[in-house]
Every structure is written in C-alpha cells, then in structure tokens.
Amino acid sequence: MRDDHQALDIVQDAMLKLTEKYSGRPPAELPLLFQRILQNTVRDHFRRQKVRSLWTTPLSSLFGSDPDNESDPLEALEVTDESRFSEPPQQQVERSQVLGLIEKALESLPARQRQAFLLRYWEELDVTATAKIMGCSEGSVKTHCSRATHALGVILGKQGIKL
C-alpha cells in the first residue's frame, strides 16, 4: 500500500466485513474468509484509485499543473475573491468546455451505468452499499461500473480528451 494509514484502514474494513457477514461461521473457516475479503478490499481500493486518477488527469491538465506532480488540482487554484478564479479568461472557457463535455458524456450513459458510476467513484461508496442503494447484486454494480468507465473513455476520446 505504501501508506500505513491506508493499509490499516483496509484491514479494518476487511475485519468489519468479516464480522458483519461471517460471524456465525466456525472459527476454523475465518482465516481463509478474512484473506479473501482482504484481497477483494485491496483490489477495490486500487480500482477506485485507478478510476479517480483517470478522471482527475484530464481535469488537472486544465489547471496548468505539472503532469508529474500528483497534487490535487483544486488545491493549486488561487482565488482572488470568492467568485472568480485568477486564471485568464481563455483558460476558464477551455475548462468549462471540457467539464461540459464530461457532463454530456455522463448524461449519455444508460441510467443504471450512470448511477453505479456516480455512487462508486464520485460518492466513494463501496460495492455493497452501492448494490443496496441500486437494489441489485454486487456483481451487477461491478459490471455497470466497468461498462460506464469504458463507455466514458470512448465518448471522451472521440471529443479529444485523452485519459
């Protein structure tokens, strides 16, 4: 994980999932169940991280930040007053155009894909919580998210936005 705090959070999440779902199982089964839950939790973490980086990369290029710098583009903005950014008008127009393209791409997705994508990657809900909200299985959530990600990549690629 390269970050002790994230690793501890992931282990804690895996332990909570184990106790919530498998507390009635015999103690001999728990180590194998925990290992599987931990692996899935780590995979989910890296998937979310990958998708977030895909969607923040085009946005960070709009704000003039260094592509090698992994800082949040919103933290790099300097605000002169509460309603205006300190960037030139041309950059503001370009940024708003790209954000508009992203919004249109999201609107063009089927409702279930858009819902799964927004809940998982913008609201940062886990697969289980997303499945409960959507009223479907966890596998369906993963399928909808995967299809949404690929569709958005294609749509935005045709608009000239490289991920």
Is the pLDDT at 104 greater than 60? The verdict is yes
Mean pLDDT of the chain: 80
Q: For the beta carbon of residue 156, count every other beta carbon within 10 angstroms.
A: 20
Q: Which CATH number is 4-64+85-158 given?
A: 1.10.10.10
Distance between CA 106 and CA 41 in Å, rounded? Answer: 27
Distance between CA 92 and CA 27 in Å, rounded? Answer: 59
Distance between CA 20 and CA 76 in Å, rounded? Answer: 41
Is the pLDDT at 82 greater than 80? The verdict is no
What residue ranges do the domains of the chain occupy? 4-64+85-158
**pTM for the structure as a whole:** 0.45
Task: Report the pLDDT value the prediction gives residue 84, as an integer from 0 to 100.
Answer: 45
